[in-house]
């Protein structure tokens, strides 16, 4: 091992990106420092001891003070390239999610000069490498989504976690646990096609939970109040909103339902019996990675994300619901997991993506950092 300990600064700008750094642990080869901006509060699961809060907006001044050998960021919302190059600091981008495959937007991003100045790009699937190959001199490594390490750890203890989920609920004797992962409720063109399917799914699943004595966990990606505000504010615009307004608001009063907040930990929820998704999301890949039955509600095909959706909808890796009236029979079928073809398709899909959930993604990142630093 080299005598010098490499100093790494991890720059944390968003609560939703905190999970990216949770699997990193102290390592004698490195001095690791996490710098979070003042609005970031989700740091209780971070194991790195040196954790600083930064109140300013000038990243360069913080870099000058800390003097890192390597600077790691997870977002393109900051641009420290000039200062890093001037001080010969290695620059690393660590992805916090999966990009859509070969979409025009992704290719436009990969052609941007912003992406060509890194020393190391750490991403998810094989397509991530294809996206940047030939467009940058940076080293490119895949299968490095470090939040998958959290998922791996939870799966080692999933029976105990499942037991705890039930004990904390109002229905500890529930027969099954279903988790509905919601999307961000915004008036954005790429998201609008999903909204009706989400609200209808939440209401229908709550009814089924009561009928069959299930526990339904609804993980929101937006504040619960935003969902309420959206549906109430659109009762005149959408007929379906008028029909479901009160039912959705009343979900909190259903003892078989738990609302999991936007910033609450989501990884325990993969210990559920069935995962339900209503929009394209990394959670779909995560559920497939840990071999959980995935039910995908798709009452409307979304042209804005068609390329990504085709991967999930057309590869036979999920139980597809194209009509909410079929949700009950589909969830029950998924629980029985008697479709061998879907299980085989899941295995082939993960191999196709080049992903693993082995608890070692953070190690692959650190090994790649060593490689660019010394070579």
Average of per-residue pLDDT values in the chain: 87
Residue located via tokens 């990884």: 267
Mean pLDDT of 97-121: 70
pLDDT exceeds 60 at position 69: yes
pLDDT for res 104:
53
Task: Out of 37-51, 75-89, 102-116, pick the least confident.
Answer: 102-116
Say which residue, 58 or 27, is predicted with more confidence. 27
Q: Which two tokens stand for residue 192?
A: 């609008």
- Tell me the CB-side half-sphere exposure of residue 168, using CA atoms within 13 A: 13
Other beta carbons within 10 angstroms of residue 146's beta carbon come to 23
Q: Give 229's pLDDT tier (boundaries 50, 70, 90).
A: confident
Distance between CA atoms of residues 170 and 175, nearest Å:
13
Distance CA 288, CA 228 (A): 30
Confidence of residue 304 (pLDDT cuts 50, 70, 90): very low
Q: What pLDDT, on the 0 to 100 scale, is given for residue 366?
A: 98
Residues 6+ apart with CB under 8 A from 341: 316
In the block, tokens 């029976």 appear at: 159
In terms of CATH architecture, what is 6-145+357-374? 3-Layer(aba) Sandwich (3.40)
pLDDT at 110 over 80: no
Distances (CA, A) of 132 to 72, 111, 118, 169, 174: 18, 8, 11, 46, 48
CB count within 10 Å of CB 292 equals 21
Q: Residue 126 to residues 102, 109, 136, 140, 173: CA-CA distances in angstroms?
A: 11, 17, 16, 10, 43
CA 215 to chain centre: 22
Bigger pLDDT: 133 vs 204: 204
pLDDT tier at 106 (50, 70, 90 boundaries)? low
156-353 maps to CATH 1.20.1560.10: no
3-state secondary structure the chain: CCCCCEEEEEEECCHHHHHHHCCCCCCCCEEEEEEEECCCCCCCCCCCCEEEEECCCCHHHHHHHHCCCEEEECCCCCCCHHHHHHCCCEEEEECCCCCCCCCHHHHHHHHCHHHHCCCEEECCCHHHHHHHCCCCCCEEECCCCCHHHHHHHHHCCHHHHHHHHHHHCCCCCCCEEEEEECCCCCCCCCCHHHHHHHHHHHHHHHHHHHHHCEEEEEECCCCHHHHHHHHHHCCCCCHHHHHHHHHHHHHHHCCCEEEECCCCCCHHHHHCCEEEECCCCHHHHHHHHCCCCEEEECCCCCHHHHHHHHHHHCCCCCEEECCHHHHHHHHHHHHHCCCHHHHHHHHHHHHHHCCCCCCCHHHHHHHHHHHHHHC
- Is the confidence at residue 109, as pLDDT, over 50? yes
Q: How confident is the model at residue 301 (pLDDT cuts 50, 70, 90)?
A: low
CB atoms within 10 A of CB 130: 14
CATH 3.40.50.2000 location in the chain = 6-145+357-374, 156-353
Residue 10: CB atoms within 10 Å? 25
| Nearest residue to 247 via CA among 302, 296, 210, 275 | 210
- What's the predicted TM-score (pTM) here? 0.88
Q: Is 361 exposed, middle or buried (0-12, 13-18, 19+ CB in 10 A)?
A: buried
pLDDT tier, 295 (very low <50, low <70, confident <90, very high otherwise): very high
**Cα separation, 142 vs 252, whole angstroms:** 41
Tokens of 23: 């699997």
Q: Which residues pair with 85 in a beta bridge?
A: none
């Amino acid at each position: 091992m080299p005598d010098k300990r490499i100093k790494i600064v991890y720059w944390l700008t968003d609560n939703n990106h905190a999970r990216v750094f949770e699997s990193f642990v102290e390592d004698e080869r490195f001095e690791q420092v996490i710098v979070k901006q003042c609005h970031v509060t989700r740091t209780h699961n971070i194991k790195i001891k040196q954790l600083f809060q930064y109140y300013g907006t000038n990243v360069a001044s913080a870099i000058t003070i800390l003097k890192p050998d390597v600077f790691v960021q997870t977002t393109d919302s900051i641009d420290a390239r000039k200062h890093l190059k001037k001080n010969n600091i290695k620059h690393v981008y660590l992805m916090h999610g999966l990009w859509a495959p070969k979409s025009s937007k992704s290719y436009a991003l990969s052609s941007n000069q912003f992406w060509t100045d890194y020393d190391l790009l750490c991403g998810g699937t094989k397509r991530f490498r294809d996206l940047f190959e030939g467009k940058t001199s940076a080293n490119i490594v895949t299968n490095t989504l470090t939040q998958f390490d959290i998922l791996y750890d939870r799966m080692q203890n999933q029976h105990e976690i499942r037991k705890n989920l039930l004990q904390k609920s109002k229905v500890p004797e529930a027969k099954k646990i279903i988790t509905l992962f919601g999307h961000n409720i915004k008036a954005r063109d790429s998201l609008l096609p999903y909204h009706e399917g989400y609200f209808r799914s939440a209401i229908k699943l709550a009814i089924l939970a009561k009928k069959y004595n299930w526990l339904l966990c609804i993980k929101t990606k937006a504040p619960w109040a935003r969902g309420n505000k959206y549906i109430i504010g659109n009762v005149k615009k959408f007929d379906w909103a008028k029909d479901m307004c009160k039912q959705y608001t009343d979900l909190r009063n259903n003892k078989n339902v738990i609302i999991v907040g936007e910033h609450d930990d989501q990884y325990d929820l993969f210990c559920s019996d069935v995962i339900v998704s209503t929009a394209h999301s990394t959670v779909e890949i995560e559920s497939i990675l840990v071999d959980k039955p995935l039910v995908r509600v798709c009452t409307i095909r979304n042209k804005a994300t068609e390329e990504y959706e085709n991967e999930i909808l057309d590869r036979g890796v999920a139980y597809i619901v194209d009509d909410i009236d079929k949700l009950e029979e589909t969830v029950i079928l998924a629980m029985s997991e008697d479709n061998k073809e879907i299980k085989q398709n899941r295995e082939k899909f993960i191999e196709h993506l080049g992903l693993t959930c082995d608890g070692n993604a953070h190690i692959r990142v650190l090994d790649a950092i060593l490689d660019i630093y010394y070579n």
